[in-house]
Structure 1
Amino acid sequence: MTPRRTRGAIGRGTDFDSHDFGRPAKRSRPRTKDRPDYSGAETARVITVDRGRYHCRMAGGDQHPLLATKARRLGRRGVIVGDLVRVVGDTSGAEGTLARIVQVEPRRTELNRTADDTDPYERPIVANADQLVVVASLVDPPARPGMIDRVLVAGYDAGVRPVIALTKADLADPAELIALYEPIDVPIVVSRPDSDLTRLRELLAGEVTVLVGHSGVGKSTLINRLVPGAGRITGRVNDATGRGRHTSASAEALALPRFDGTGGHDPGWVIDTPGVRSFGLSHVRPATILAAFTDLAGFTVGCPRGCDHHADAPECGLDGAAARGELSMARLESFRRVLEAVDRPEEYR
């Protein structure tokens, strides 16, 4: 039999027989649908992320710190501050050791934002938070209700309990902002540089709480008072722009000291986040906001189909409830202001 003459990449005009090229060798490790079982691996909490390294604290026991990297099997899946992860390898936390994150536990909650209201991509901020503290300063920089509302919306969407913290009350009267948000039934804490933080400590005890706000509003200052030795860098506001300077480069979770005023609660965690200039809500749907205002939802049962519950919505059940005195106008207006932050962002800015 005359060998076939083939022209190809191996060499032009080369004579070879197809039998010279046997079948590819079998893989040394056959494919399988079985996946490694890491249910028995130790659990840790991610407290900060730095250039591909994950600083964690072991869950339970002495909660000693350790450094870890992400296993290749996790692919492009992100690991963020607050995640509970399974770790293998050297989990002693000794200097020079490096554990490996092999599994991310399902998240109870996930706080997200987008770059702006036209950006379709969600950016996770923290995982497994129970509470969200919106930090706003009364002056330097002045509070922006629009920003507060937008962060509240993100909190409602994530299913975390919101709290508002108003700082620098030694420089301005908080009464106007308190009156604006009291109808929403969100806890409001007011602080000065030397004020008693007992109320805030009570709210934080035993919970995982994330602090969000503009740069320069005093998040790091609050955390330094809540967690002695935290050493979070504080900054000042630019005199020309009225904006704060970023002092926290990345999110970081810090263990709270035990608070005696709450009985047997676990101390809890507080998560400091970098200051934000904007808070996009393109990932949030208006129905999420109504669901968060549980006392209002019942009044919308008789609304016309497609009612958006805004002030110009014809025959909205919320207006009827307010007219009958079953719903205060202050709370209705507060709800609609928060709703417009996501539903009509172009009018809200």
Structure 2
Amino acid sequence: MPHQDDGYTFPLLEGITRTPVRYPNRYGLTIAADLYHAADLDLTVSHPGIVIGPPHGGVKEQGPGVYAQQMARRGFVTLGFDPSHNGESSGQPRHITSPELFAEDFSAGVDYLGTLGFIDRDRLGVIGICGSGGFALSAAQVDHRIKAVATAAMYDISGVAREGWQHSSTPEERQKALTDLAAQRWADVDAGEAALSPTFPSAIPDGLDPVTAEFFEYYVTDRGRHPRSIGGFTITSGQAHINFGSLRHLAEISPRPVLMVTGDVAHSRWFSDELFEQAQEPKELLVVPGARHIDLYDRPEAIPFDALERFFAESLQ
């Protein structure tokens, strides 16, 4: 269970207001989110807003809230959300992962912020943490209302599904994966429900590889554990990610600015390095000394909030 009595994995900062909200995405699903702003914010004038997505498999009570309250402290109105079919957001079956839906959830957050009387619709940005980094970039490729994009410890989930870790998959391996997914669909049909990939255990086992051990350090211990963040997704979701592929239109975000934040010892750093090369100006790559992947989920001393404040203050003028 979360180590906060209020169900969150972090304490709410003094002087910050957090309000649970609900709104629809364009598929008619109800998105559960938390709206943050400074308690003394002047609501009679318009402010910039930022939509913040969680790591792949995460929920709003984890990393999104850490980012949201810190950016709210710096004068932004922020929204941390649960992706469709996950957390407290609606959608059946539960625990689908979808590149289309998860990108749409960023646009739905923009929709919601734009309904608030104290938001300037021309000053809206997004932050994607881990897997949401790829989905945030995907949303910005086609949604010109998103004026600036920041990613933190970014993963391109769909790119890995199609091409493997650091593009290591062969065409034969991809076809084998699709054959396995086809068999899984028949298994789901026969069972009457969608099977899930493995979920997080109750305790950290021995003998883990370094990347899995790092994720378990966050999701399985009191640091980040949450009952709605289970780690598993419907297995057949893999078809959508393989079909979607990588971020093919990344360059088209320009001339809107992109900031990619990663750690110099993060196992995911190669995503940011590679996609930064593909992005067009204006763009910025910020490498945090000594930061691992999960340190950019929730460690205020590692997350460069001052740089994020500068980026969005300049981008959302």
TM-score (norm 1): 0.24
Determine which structure has greater relative contact order: mean sequence separation of CA pairs < 8 Å that are 6+ residues apart, divided by chain length. 2
Q: Larger radius of gyration, structure 1 or 2?
A: 1
TM-score (norm 2): 0.25
